[in-house]
Structure 1
Amino acid sequence: MIAAAALLTVTACGEQADTTDSGAGGNGDAPPASQELSRAPEEVPHDGPVPVGQIDSKALPEGYPVDVSVSDKGHTLTVVAQEGGCTKASAELAEETGERVTVTLIESNPADKNVMCTMDMRYPPLTVELDAPLGDREVVLDHEQATH
């Protein structure tokens, strides 16, 4: 008998929630939940990881990380670089067109060849600022070696 009463209470509560969710008894100003959800993706900019299929990483050395994300409503591109020992990584926005954004990752080695260097690897996140949101444009990652 207690189980039957509990089931009746749960069913009654569920039915009441269903009528309020459908808009019955509301103030008439709020759109149904389905309309609110359909508008949300248009208002939210594409911030987060850039899909692998949108990244051209052919110019990177073998084993180099391919990790790109976008933030600041699509205006800031963050690329994970690789450096180790005495090398220092930096990034430059090489080109920004309507179809693609090219970022050059620069690995700088010390000019003095007699410097003792550690054998550690580091993966610093480097940022470049875009004039326009990334959107669906391709991200091309280029790589250069330099001395400092």
Structure 2
Amino acid sequence: MRWKQAIIGVSVVVLGAVGAGCAQQGDVQPGSGGAGNNDAGRAPVELPRESGQGAGRKPVQPPAADEGTPVPPERVDASALPRGYPVEVSVTGDGRTLRIVGQEGGCSKASAELGEQRGDRVAVTMVETKPTSKDIACTMDMRYPPLTITLDEPLGERMVVLTYEARET
């Protein structure tokens, strides 16, 4: 019976020492400004937040300087893209350059191909090219590269129609 008391006593001492060690290492909540905070000079850690976009959509990223002017959503037909594919289209330069965010991952590569250019619409095919070989190891990451397409004439009020095609090399 004494050995049980000894084990409990040692456990209490060990747990107390661990707890005290954490408190001495500045385990103070960010922004609390509590005394004894050993994190002086360190920037607070920001945790990621949910973007609020629909399920399967790419998280909102801060705008880059060269993203151009966004094309209004009502002028982008992305209904033929796979579920979860990002839909970000903008016009840069003189209105003839479309910047479209693609999606690739692992060993696949994204590209965009210009289709027909009519008076009321511009067709762009988002292509994802995957290697045919099964003997290569690919990562499980997703990337969203900006892709550019140069139009014959400025986009103006035309609709941008996006389609998707998967290819193998």
1:115 equivalent in structure 2: 136
Correspondence 1:133 to 2:154: yes
TM-score by length of 2: 0.59
C-alpha displacement of 1:72: 1.4
C-alpha displacement of 1:143: 0.3
Match of 1:95, SS state, is strand
1:8 equivalent in structure 2: none
Distance 1:113 1:136 in 2: 44
Distance 1:113 1:105 in 2: 23
C-alpha displacement of 1:115: 1.3
Distance 2:135 2:116 in 1: 36
User: How many positions carry a matched residue from both structures?
Assistant: 102
C-alpha displacement of 1:95: 1.1
Match of 2:137, SS state, is coil
Distance 1:88 1:80 in 2: 13
Judging by fraction of residues, say which structure has more strand: 1
Correspondence 1:66 to 2:87: yes
1:144 equivalent in structure 2: 165
Match of 1:65, SS state, is coil
- Percent of aligned pairs with the same amino acid: 58
- Partner AA of 2:153 in structure 1: A
Structure 1: 5+ residue stretches without partners: 1-46
Judging by fraction of residues, say which structure has more helix: 1
Distance 2:167 2:117 in 1: 23
Equivalent runs, 1:5-16 vs 2, <5 Å? none
Distance 2:69 2:160 in 1: 14
Higher relative contact order (CA 8 A, sep 6+): 1
Equivalent runs, 1:1-148 vs 2, <5 Å? 48-148=69-169
- Partner AA of 2:119 in structure 1: G
Structure 2: 5+ residue stretches without partners: 1-67
C-alpha displacement of 1:132: 0.4
C-alpha displacement of 1:73: 1.4
CA-atom RMSD in angstroms: 0.8
TM-score by length of 1: 0.67
4+ residue runs of structure 1 moved beyond 4 angstroms? none
